Amino acid sequence: MKLYLKTTVVVLGLWLLCFLGYQVYAKMQYKQEVEAALKTIPDFSFETLEGKTFTQNNLDTDQPTVLIYFNSGCDYCQHEAQSIEQHIDAFKNVQLVFVSYETKEAIQQFSKTYKLNNYDNIILLSDTRDDFANRFDATSIPYLLIYDKDKKLIAKHKGQLRAESIIEMLNL
């Protein structure tokens, strides 16, 4: 009986170790795949506040693009939007794409509060399927992906980023 119990514990321990090892390996593989996919702007499909589909094909092909994943109730997102609006002249040749999983009404209110709706280069999108977080590896808000005019990734940033830092990364 003791031998059976010891064998069972050893087998279960080895099985658990193998299972956990596989989980770590699978997570690392997934992260590598996402990193590779983010080197250029991946395919996406979200909705404009008017209810139209907006994909990566709608982006201007000769301007840098900054994707900003946000939530209107997030203090950091609010400060970031305020900073961008205060330095909007530096972004005149940059597409700023704000994406949120919130309702279109909440996004619109955020846009009005921080005067983001006053600029043609600012695009506001609703992620009704909550797809952005998985597709773009967004594990926090705000979350920024900064791409050059060739749509190649310059920087991926979790958390608030001052407009001056974005401008510096884009060499504007």
The predicted pLDDT at position 16 comes to 80
d(CA 70, CA 30): 23
3 state DSSP class of 158? strand
Pairing mode of beta strands 45-48, 122-126: antiparallel
Q: Which of 82, 80, 79 has its CA nearest to residue 68?
A: 80
pLDDT tens column, 34-89: 777 789 999 999 999 999 999 999 998 889 999 999 999 999 999 999 999 999 99
pLDDT in tens, 136-166: 989 899 999 999 999 999 999 999 989 999 9
Residue % of the chain over a pLDDT of 70: 99
Mean pLDDT of 101-123: 94
Phi, psi dihedrals of residue 18, rounded to the nearest 5°: -65, -45
Q: Is the separation of the CB atoms in 155 and 146 below 8 Å?
A: yes
Ramachandran class of 151: left when φ > 0, alpha when ψ lies in -120 to 50, beta otherwise: left
The answer, yes or no, to whether residue 171 has pLDDT greater than 90, is no
Q: CA of 18: how far to CAs of 6, 134, 165, in Å?
A: 18, 26, 44
Mean pLDDT of 21-37: 78
Query: 45-169: which CATH number, 2.40.10.10, 3.20.20.10, 3.30.230.10, 3.40.30.10?
Result: 3.40.30.10
| pLDDT for residue 165 | 93
> What is this structure's pTM?
0.82
In angstroms and rounded to an integer, the radius of gyration of the C-alpha atoms of the chain is 21
Please classify residue 167 by burial: count the beta carbons closer than 10 Å to its beta carbon, then call 0-12 exposed, 13-18 middle and 19+ buried.
middle
Q: Quick one: tokens of 87?
A: 């330095």
Alpha-carbon distance 73 to 139, whole Å? 17
For residues 63 and 95, is the Cβ–Cβ distance under 8 A?
yes
